[in-house]
Structure 1
Amino acid sequence: MRQARVVYEGRTLTATPCATGVRLADGTELREEQVTWLPPGEFGTIFALGLNYADHVRELKFQKAPEEPLVFLKGPNALTGHRRVTHRPPDATFMHYECELAVVIGKTCKNVPRESAYDVIRGYTVANDYAIRDYLENFYRPNLRVKNRDACTPIGPWLIDKADVPDPMNLRLRTWVNDKLTQDGNTRDMVLDIAGLIEYLSGFMTLNPGDVILTGTPEGVADCKSGDRVVTEIEGVGSLINFIE
């Protein structure tokens, strides 16, 4: 099942996909542009992974991936929905997208062994975790201005039940900027896989329903300019559109 959260005629509603765009619970069918898209869930703690794809590690000229996961937290203010706008700071010289598989937790859990990790997942969605590299102190201590600006992380459009994604560790990830393909990777290239991330995080803190793990991005990041249309797509999960201003 795929579902989204949208605003239509002043009301926040649940929507599902249809041939024209979205179908509301009362059966009304609308084009994507006729609704305002919200993040597809009411999310809690947002975990973000850095340097979690081997090819991206090489792209950034690191000798090897971190020995422990490079994890930092994001505030809810950072999230925005499908077809929404993200602002490029006027002083930025390098702002890049990051196409990421987002894992949504479905159960309160702690100390989850990797063999049980998929039991605590609710589903998956697409995230585009923009980074403003000008503000980066180093990859192990990203400044708040790099990753926590308002609306710097589009997410959606759909939250997909885990049962509908049989192999999340073999999904193609792609990004287009103004219809030019700029990023093309696969989740199988994660340094620490989904089960390992859940085992690691739940080993020292409780995970709760609605918590989100952004699992990192492959190589191919490129600078985005005001006026760009950026599409981040994950095979079987969805295609997320964002506009830069």
Structure 2
Amino acid sequence: MTLSYVFPPPPVTSVPVRGRPERFPVHRIYCVGRNYEEHAKEMGFTGREPPFFFLKPADALVPVNDGETGTLPYPTLTQNFHHEIELVVAIGTGGAQIRAADAQRHIFGYAVGLDMTRRDLQNDMKKQGRPWDIGKGFDASAPIGPITPLEQAGDVAAADIWLQVNGADRQRSQIAKLIWSIGEIIEHLSAAWTLQPGDLIYTGTPEGVAAVGRGDLLVGSVGGLGELRVRVS
């Protein structure tokens, strides 16, 4: 039986893969909250709290090819549009109850991503004890560069992570400062959800988050994974 639909289904959301013609089809986007100690402090929290997660829709991605500058539309309803540079983990082999020691077997590769945030709306939701979706899961809230396959990525756990806005440093840290390591993140996530091939995990942002405006150029990187460039329009 051939399936028919009431309207054409949307195309598969996908991300380019460095050095390969095939693209990475995206299933879900998981994000880790407050996973660098100094960022937790700047947001008013301290200590190594248990990890927590939120999701963005797959079509919130803004994939940007190597050497190109993506366009990031300034979203509606906000006066406080924040950048958050992050290491992104791309899952190639799914599973549940994955141990941290086994997590690398499930990783396809890594990318540089931005978790863009309508901070004023997120803060309003926090005060009311309501979900953050309007502050985190809006259209074009997840720019991402090409995925570097695991075998080409080098020692990501020891890499630098940084973001500049209009050529000036905003965020600069090391992946080694993650409160919860990549393996621990995958262990916790896979205890709550069955991870699937095509899942992306935004692993958290270091300190220095701040507002951007129309015309600003954001350039970010994780060592060995190239640069992600986007301009706010």
TM class, shorter-length: 0.7 to 0.9
CA RMSD of the aligned region, Å? 2.2
Select the residue among 33, 39, 57 that pairs with 1:75.
57
Letter of the structure 2 residue corresponding to residue 223 of structure 1? A
| 1:142/1:176 CA distance change after superposition, 3 Å | farther
* 2:37 alignment partner in structure 1: 54
Residues 109-188 of structure 1: pairs in structure 2 closer than 5 A: 109-136=95-122, 137-138=125-126, 142-156=131-145, 158-188=146-176
Q: What SS does structure 1 have at the residue aligned with 2:135?
A: helix
Structure 2: how far apart are the matches of 1:138 and 1:92?
15
Matched, 1:209 2:192: no
1:197–1:77 Cα change, 3 Å = same
CA shift in 2, pair 1:90/1:104, >3 Å: closer
Verify the 8 A CA contact 2:154 2:224 in the aligned structure 1: no
**CA separation in 2, counterparts of 1:218 and 1:13?**
24
Instruction: State the alpha-carbon separation in 2 of the partners of residues 49 and 242 from structure 1.
Output: 22
State the SS of the aligned residue for 2:59: helix
Give SS of 1:80's match. Answer: strand
Letter in 1 for 2:94: T
- When normalised by structure 1's length, the TM-score is 0.80
Say how many residue pairs are matched: 212
- Give the C-alpha shift of residue 58 in structure 1: 1.2
- Structure 1, unaligned runs of 5 or more: 1-11, 18-23, 26-39
Q: 1:41 offset after TM fit, Å?
A: 2.3
Give 1:205 deviation, angstroms. Answer: 2.2
Tell me: higher relative CO, structure 1 or 2? Use CA pairs within 8 A at least 6 residues apart.
Answer: 2
Higher relative helix content? 2
Q: TM-score, normalised by structure 2?
A: 0.84
The structure whose residues are more often strand, as a share, is 1
TM-aligned CA distance change 1:97 to 1:14, over 3 Å: closer
Is the Cα contact below 8 Å between 1:95 and 1:224 reproduced in 2?
Answer: yes
Percent identical residues: 31
Instruction: Tell me the SS of whatever aligns to 2:90.
Output: strand
The residue type paired with residue 189 of structure 1 is: K
Distance 1:60 1:13, change over 3 A: closer
In structure 2, how many angstroms separate the alpha carbons of the residues matched to 1:219 and 1:234?
15
1:214 counterpart letter in structure 2: Y
Whole-Å Cα distance in 2 between the matches of residues 110 and 89 of structure 1?
Answer: 35
